[in-house]
Amino acid sequence: MRSFPRLFASLLFVGFTPVAMAETSVDFAKDVAPIFEAHCYSCHGESKGLGGLKLHTAEEIEAAAEKKGDLLIAGKPDESELYERLVLPEDDRKRMPKGADPLAEKDIETIKQWIAGGAEFATAEAPAAEAMDEKPAEAAPLPERPELEPASPDAIAAAEETGALVIPLYSGSNELRVSFPSSRDQVTDETVAKLVPLAGQVVELDLSGTKITDAVAESLKEFKYLDTLHLEKTEVGDAAVSALADMTYLNYLNLHSTKATDASLEALKSAPSLRKLYVWQTAASYDAAKALEKATPGLAVNLGWDHPGVVRERLTKELTRVEEQQAEATKTVEEAKKMLETAEADQKSASDRAAEIKKQLEELDKPAAKKEEAPADKPAEGETA
């Protein structure tokens, strides 16, 4: 008969551990990246990396962690600056996000769990069978931009007079980045027209938060070497976006909080090099975004974490995962019940046997007791006691 204590120990370990002690896995792409996008990209995104930190890709985070060892320490959130800055007192000037409301507790906890779980960037989930059977089309190689001629000093000076910040993409580069960090509310369609003399050298143009409209399209057509274009939080719509569709080198386009609709997404099917498109808080639909991704291999269309279509997709995947977990937990519970029934039967059997043995021992003790209590033999006749 199997030992009850040993059986009960295995019941606890095998039967209940997966249900009671299993930790919920936190996926970087699904759970953490959207938090960074919603709260951190304005200062630590692709176009702006305050303090040398960018959080828009796993590669940028890993590179920053290599340079600054305590930024992200896998398994140790309380020692990782990325987490520590989120839980400082609200009046601490080092608390992040700077100049904004603190993150929700659930978001902070998600980041903590991600770091505690090893700060893995690759999803741990196996690809669905359908995804494995249907291989995605490979993205076409991006065209190489020709070496650009230096911009004329007069053109740079004229651009700076509009309030533009004109800087080389890197030291000694003829490729330029133009933005309006301190005068966005004064930038209009006419302002952008004054930048056209620099169009042959500008590869990154940031017009986010400015007063431009669809009329800017005529000027934007001249920036034929653009790689990155920020139009978020402006009044541009489908007309302006359509003018960008044939740009050979345009790789990144941000239309967050603009008047873009599905017509913009349809037009961008012609954009040969587009790989990142942001249409968060626009009228663009989930179906149109997916159709554009399918038509443009390598393109990722970001509708935003809170878009109904994205929420539905996320919840559907989560439901599948939870239902699988529920089925596994149910199976474990049933196995545990069977083990418990076996243990209880063993317990009863052992109890019954113990009672039987005690009874037998009592019976063995009875004759010995009678013998000890028997009177002494009477002396023979004629003998004295």
Which distant-in-sequence residues (6+ apart) come within 8 Å of 359 by Cβ? none
d(CA 329, CA 19): 6
d(CA 356, CA 178): 94
Torsion of CA 207, 208, 214, 219, to 10 degrees: 10
pLDDT of residue 250: 95
Which distant-in-sequence residues (6+ apart) come within 8 Å of 324 by Cβ? none
- Give the residues across from 103 on adjacent strands: none
Residue 349 has pLDDT above 70, yes or no: yes
Which distant-in-sequence residues (6+ apart) come within 8 Å of 45 by Cβ? 37, 54, 55, 56
Summarize the confidence of residues 360-375 as an average pLDDT.
Answer: 71
- Structurally, at CATH architecture level, domain 153-310 sits in Alpha-Beta Horseshoe (3.80)
pLDDT of residue 384: 57
d(CA 258, CA 251): 19
The residue with tokens 């509310």 is 185
Closest CA to 224 of 250, 206, 205: 250
Neighbours of 4 (CB within 10 A): 17
Closest CA to 46 of 179, 296, 228, 289: 228
What is the average pLDDT value for the chain, to the nearest integer? 84
Most confident of the following: 109-118, 254-263, 360-369: 254-263
Residue 139, sorted as left (phi over 0), alpha (psi -120 to 50) or beta, turns out to be beta
Greatest Cα pair distance, the chain, in angstroms, is 156
| 204-221 confidence digits (pLDDT tens) | 999 999 999 999 999 999
d(CA 86, CA 144): 41
Look at 43-47, 78-82, 100-104 and tell me which has the smallest mean pLDDT: 43-47
d(CA 176, CA 198): 9
| 132-189 confidence digits (pLDDT tens) | 345 556 777 888 899 999 999 999 999 999 999 999 988 889 999 999 988 999 999 9
Residue 308: burial class (beta carbons within 10 Å; 0-12, 13-18, 19+): exposed
pTM: 0.55
Local confidence band at 371 (pLDDT 50, 70, 90 cut-offs)? low
**Prior bond of 308 cis (ω within 30°):** no
Domain boundaries, the chain: 25-124, 153-310
Tell me what percent of the residues of the chain surpass a pLDDT of 90.
Answer: 52
Residue 5 has pLDDT above 70, yes or no: no
